Structure 1
Amino acid sequence: MADDPDPTPDFTPEQTARGRALRRAQVPWLLGGALTALALTLVLGLTPAGAGLVTWAGGLFGGSRTAEVLGGAAALAVLGQAVRMPFGARIRAVRARYGLVTQGWGGWALDALRGLGLGLALLLPAALGLYALTGRSPDRWWIPGAVLAALLVTALSFLHPLLIEPVFNRFSSMPAGPLRDALLGLADRDGVRVRDVLVADASRRTTALNAYVSGLGSTRRIVAYDTLLNTAEPREVELVVAHELGHVKHRDVLTGTLLGAAGAAAATVLIGLAANWQPLLDAAGGEPTADPRSLPLLAALAALIGSATGPLQAAASRRIEARADRHALELTDDPEQFIAMQRRLAVANVSDVDPPRLLVLLFGTHPSATRRIAAARAWRPAAAPPAAAPPAG
């Protein structure tokens, strides 16, 4: 990796220091929450404690096999949420000190409950389907399971803007006007069909700026945070949306969905094979996968696979985001405003514009602000074809 560009020309020492200070204040709690949740999952999955938890939770609802599946899955989800909550509360307090939080503690707690409820609504039917498969084919359940996991990821990608996004934000159609016309015109010029341009009421929670394009096919729409519309210049909003259109133009959403489906299928196969490894079964209490008491072991294997593949996913994301930046420059031919937009986003979101390389390699999903600005300065529009020579005579 090349040396990071010097942030000095684009950000004041105060802005650079502020972003670095926020990162240093947040990262220990972010890592602490993730590691604590992973440790809990591994303890429950790789010791008999997890099987005991499933038996206890199922007993609260009658002790049947179905009760153990539902009770065990719910208990794992609730415990996972519970151990992350103190870390999330600390992160919220840190972000509030930097002016990034507009939501009260009650709203924050309500969002956490909404997230838990949504997670259970997705998890419990999936757990029932999983153990229907393990009961029918204890040794080969992962073959149809891989197919169903891929289909589930694909369906969720399509339904996400319709069913999941509205749980946390309210959306309204952007009123008719020059900006709406400019954004629709930008999409039309890019050859991207969008259903609507929506405004998300993000200011109820944060002062951070963002926009995105979500959905596939008939559910695709441009979404802008109201914080972005109230803060940025219209041309800067166009540059943000042009970046997001780049994801659509390069089929990043579709590709991500297909890769996610393939990854879910591969993970299901790995989990199915590993769950039959006798040392793991012995560590978890010896319960076969057909028994609901194996649920914590399967969850632990899924968590390990997710943690191991995280840096690879982050690296792929950085490449995709850099390509979307180039697309925005090609679509708008306006590197100066692109740079202004990157500055505004970094300052408003109190970003660390030059984070440590290790953190970028492990967790960075976007290039740093300094790298994005340096790439914009180095960008040159494609040369126009040479004019035809005038006819002789």
Structure 2
Amino acid sequence: MGEVRERRQLGVALAGLGAVILVVVWLTTPWRVLPPGAPYVAPDPARDFTPAEIARSVAFDAATGTPAYLSLGLTILFAGILVATPFGARLLGRLRGPWWVRAILGVLVLTVLVEAVRWPLGIWFEVQLRAFGLSTQNWASWSLDRVKSIGVRVVLLSIMVVAVIALARRFRRWWIPAAVGAFALTLAASFVYPVVFEPLFNDFRPMPAGQLRTDLLAMAQRDGVPVEDVLIADASRRTNALNAYVSGFGATRRIVVYDTLLKAPEDEIELVVAHELGHAKYGDVLNGTLIGGLGAAFGAGLLFLAFWLVRRRAGVEAISDPRAVGVVMGLMSIATVLSGPAQNVVSRHVEARADVHALDLTRDPKTFIAMQKRLATTNISDLAPDVMEYVLYASHPTAPERIAMARSWARLNRLPEP
């Protein structure tokens, strides 16, 4: 009866926390980025992109879609095996040492196993990137990046898994401190990621003194956005794609511009940065971190319930057993896949608001559209994704959607429509 009552109490707590998450998401997500009176402009790839550009986009999507879907399928399959069969418990039962050592080794063994299976798909995907002129890496640097990414994931997963097992070994209601810890870890990771993890993959240097830096800092000041620095990332040693982003908050907030983007006209660079200033202006990183932290806390409670449901199928009775590492990792993977579409919905609206901010700040829809066309053709963006791709992968509006929104903005502000 005690366990039943405990699960009921947890269910009530999760319902309450879930309601809080929904409220926070609802209040922080810009569901409408233009005023209600803004005229509708239909997205139309054929209006702004040549038949050759559209055909190249379709071909690139076909070439990269298969390895991407196969990789996703393998991730789900492996997670299902860990959750629904005793495979993980039997494999990790062979490990020896203190419980925390076995837990860390379990994370490492299972991660290496699934990544070894996915490695050929990664090679397939990389070959396509090179065939279409996007990747500039050799196989040594590509492999090193992939190994570093796996290493970061193993470290973070090990911290989470060891913490869960340690709390479960000490507390009956371990999900309560686990939820608090998950929330705190998410906030801490968001703060330190720009200064600890990003330098593992790119070298950064301050944008040198000159007209562009002066104009960007002046624009940030005019926008009322405190920016710690504007940095240039050496992305060209990996890719020809164009990008910029904002990361961190407070003392670690900085705008990062790919060195490949510096080849674009200065007014287009300013528009990209204006978009990033929009993220800083509206606290998108902080809001995303808050939602992520609440989601992590919710996940800790959900993990308690989900483990109870699958523990016998997985061949391990208690989450305090290091052999439960596989179940925990499998449940985390499934949760990540299932939450992805909802995160993309929120992200698309947030990105659209940053686009509107860039237009409000520069009042230059013509250059905005030119910039979107440059980004789409250089990065070989999917100009018309099917429903499945849009749901699973589209964290930004498509280029035709962004261009149509800019034309709507121009009409609304009585400016010439590009």
Distance 1:362 1:3 in 2: 25
Cα distance in 2, alignment partners of residues 40 and 367 from structure 1: 31
Answer whether contact 2:79 2:334 (CA < 8 A) is retained: no
Q: Quick check: 1:252 aligned with 2:290?
A: no
Identity of aligned residues (%): 46
Q: How many residues are treated as equivalent by the alignment?
A: 375
**SS of residue paired to 1:276:** helix
CA contact (8 A) 2:261 2:269 kept: yes
For residue 352 of structure 1, what is the amino acid of its counterpart?
Answer: D
Q: Deviations over 1:243-270 (max 9, x none)?
A: 1111111111000000000011101110
Partner of 2:162: 128
- 2:358 maps to which residue? 328
Q: 1:362 to 1:126 in 2, by over 3 A?
A: closer
Mapping for residues 36-51 of structure 1, pairs under 5 Å: 36-51=74-89
**Is 2:70 aligned against 1:32?**
yes
Q: How does 1:187-202 map to 2 (within 5 A)?
A: 187-202=220-235
CA contact (8 A) 2:41 2:408 kept: no
Q: Once the two structures are superposed, what CA deviation does each residue of 1:320-373 show, in whole Å capped at 9, x if it has no partner?
A: 111111111001100000000000000111112122233212321111111100
Which of 372, 397, 418 aligns to 1:367? It is 397
Distance of 1:155 and 1:337 partners within structure 2 = 38
Q: Residue 114 in 1 paired to residue 152 in 2? A: no
- The one-letter amino acid of 2:79's match is T
Q: CA deviation at 1:131?
A: 1.3
Aligned match of 1:217? 250
Q: What's the CA shift string for 1:250-309, capped at 9, x where partnerless? A: 1110000000000111011101122122xx111011421111111111222222222222
- The alpha-carbon distance between structure 1 residues 361 and 3, as it changes in their structure 2 partners (threshold 3 A), is farther
Contact 1:322 1:372 in 2 (8 A): yes
Other-structure match for 1:75: 109
1:352 aligns with 2:401: no
Partner in structure 1 of residue 30 of structure 2: none
**Uncovered stretches (5+) of structure 1, i.e. residues with no partner:** 385-393
Aligned equivalent of 1:264:
296
Q: Distance in 2 between matches of 1:194 and 1:381?
A: 32
Equivalent position amino acid for 1:147 in 2: V
Contact 2:161 / 2:328 at 8 angstroms: preserved in 1? Answer: no
The 1-side partners of 2:385 and 2:153 are apart by: 32
After TM superposition, give the deviation of residue 381 of structure 1 in Å. 8.2
Q: 1:90 and 1:4 mapped to 2: Cα distance? A: 36
1:105 is aligned to 2:139: yes
Match of 1:194, SS state, is coil
Cα RMSD of the aligned pairs, angstroms, is: 1.7
Matched, 1:146 2:176: no
Higher relative contact order (CA 8 A, sep 6+): 2
- Residue type of the partner of 1:18? R
Letter of the aligned partner of 1:236 in structure 2? E
Inter-partner Cα distance in structure 1 for 2:248 and 2:100: 34
Q: 1:69 to 1:358 in 2, by over 3 A?
A: closer
Q: Which whole-Å CA distance do the structure 1 matches of 2:358 and 2:180 have between them? A: 36
C-alpha distance in structure 2 between counterparts of 1:140 and 1:311, whole Å: 31
